[in-house]
Amino acid sequence: MTPEMNTAVKSGRAQQEKTSSDVILEVKDLKKHFPIKTGILQRTTGVIKAVDGAHFSVKRGETIGIVGESGCGKSTTGRTIIRLYEPTEGKIIYKGNDISHLKEKEMRSSIRRDIQMIFQDPFASLNPRKTLGSILYEPFKVHNLHSEKERQEKIESLLEIVGLDGSFKSRYPHEFSGGQRQRIGIARALTTQPELIIADEPVSALDVSIQAQIINLMEDLQEEFGLTYVFISHDLSVVRHIADTVGVMYLGNMMELAPKEDLYREPLHPYTRALLSAVPVPRQKGVKTREKVVLKGDLPSPSNPPSGCVFHTRCPEAMEECKKVVPAFEEKKSGHYVACHLYK
């Protein structure tokens, strides 16, 4: 990193005061429904409730992990926060301002630089016809950042920050391995000096050893630049490594939210318990291993979710009430929220 870059980034981000109440992002009862259109007239005949009640907040410089099976709405939640999708209901509060319905022009002028996204498949998100230099140049141009000379310097700095050689800027994405391509994706996300990064399954497509390298890189960058992450993953072991707080989603709903230690030590929601029971853990003398909970049935369709608690069709502890009454998402212990009738 050049000294100028170092100074600029650090003065902008890492040196900001962190206080315990410094919530940077708050998501309140967020919903994103997609209409189902059929026929020549494209009439709306139903809705897919991709996200139907997501709630969480994250403090500056921390990481929230959002976990759940494929199709649970976690990626849609991430994309709605960054406003790739217009929210159907609920609020997205960023730095105290409601950005849920900002117009694209306002988003571009005030938010797009601040919130960046890292995608699961770095190859698909990198234009194969462009060199790394032009891929990293583009955000500078879009946001009108820096002089021409500075842009070139910063491109090399960014590549070095993510562990690549600055001279790679004249190469194309296909010349790199999966792990290197994800490093390029991270470098691109850093071009605008963001404060918040939404990482959507950033290591799922990578080998386990490479996953660890990317996670370590993300942790180092967080430390250095004071970044905040929303880390979306289906993998509870990966999330355990990087997150401070973990939210568990099922069929578009946030089922449980807690500080990492609490959630992994004492999961309250039957769905979280089932997910955790499937995570392999090394045997430890004197420590009881978790009994494996096998969930019956398939994930119901978000276009026709079950009544009451959406998990009742698969819950090993379902009661009569669960079929009729939607459980409230409530704080049961300090900072530990759960939506389940077992804890009334």
| Whether 64 contacts 246, CB under 8 Å | yes
CB of 326 to ligand SF4, least distance (A): 9
Q: Does 126 bind ligand SF4 (CB under 6 A)?
A: no
Residue 173 near ligand SF4 by CB under 6 A: no
Binding piece for ligand SF4, criterion CB under 6 A, among 94-102, 194-202, 231-239, 319-327: 319-327
Cα–Cα distance for residue pair 98/277, rounded to 1 Å: 38
Binding mask 268-287 for ligand SF4 (x = CB under 6 A): -xx-----------------
Q: Nearest CA to 228 among 252, 263, 193?
A: 193
* For ligand SF4, the closer CB: 45 or 307: 307
309 binds ligand SF4 (CB under 6 A): yes
The answer for residues whose C-beta is within 8 angstroms of residue 310's C-beta and 6 or more apart is: 52, 250, 251, 252, 253, 300
Nearer to ligand SF4, 168 or 311 (CB): 311
Do 40 and 26 contact (CB within 8 A), yes or no?
no
Q: Helix 178-190 to helix 208-225 angle, to the nearest 10 degrees?
A: 20
Check binding of 267 to ligand SF4 (CB under 6 A): no
What end-to-end distance do the CA atoms of the chain give, in Å? 54
Could you tell me the smallest distance in angstroms from the CB atom of residue 316 to ligand SF4? 8
Q: Is 205 in the site for ligand SF4 (CB under 6 A)?
A: no
CB of 117 to ligand SF4, least distance (A): 31
342 binds ligand SF4 (CB under 6 A): yes
Q: Is 341 in the site for ligand SF4 (CB under 6 A)?
A: yes
322 touching ligand SF4, by CB under 6 A: yes
Q: Does 318 engage in binding with ligand SF4 (CB under 6 A)?
A: yes
- Exposure class string for 293-309: b at 16+ Cβ within 10 A, else e: eebeeebbebeebbebb
327 touches ligand SF4 by CB under 6 A: yes
> Which is it for strands 115-118 and 196-200: parallel, antiparallel or unpaired?
parallel
Kindly give the pairing relationship between strand 63-67 and strand 245-250.
parallel
Closest CA to 118 of 162, 61, 184: 184
Under the criterion CB under 6 A, does residue 254 sit at the interface with ligand SF4?
A: no
Region binding ligand SF4 by CB under 6 A among candidate stretches 98-106, 186-194, 258-266, 315-323: 315-323
Binding site for ligand SF4 (CB under 6 A): 269-270, 309, 311-312, 315, 317-319, 322, 327, 340-342
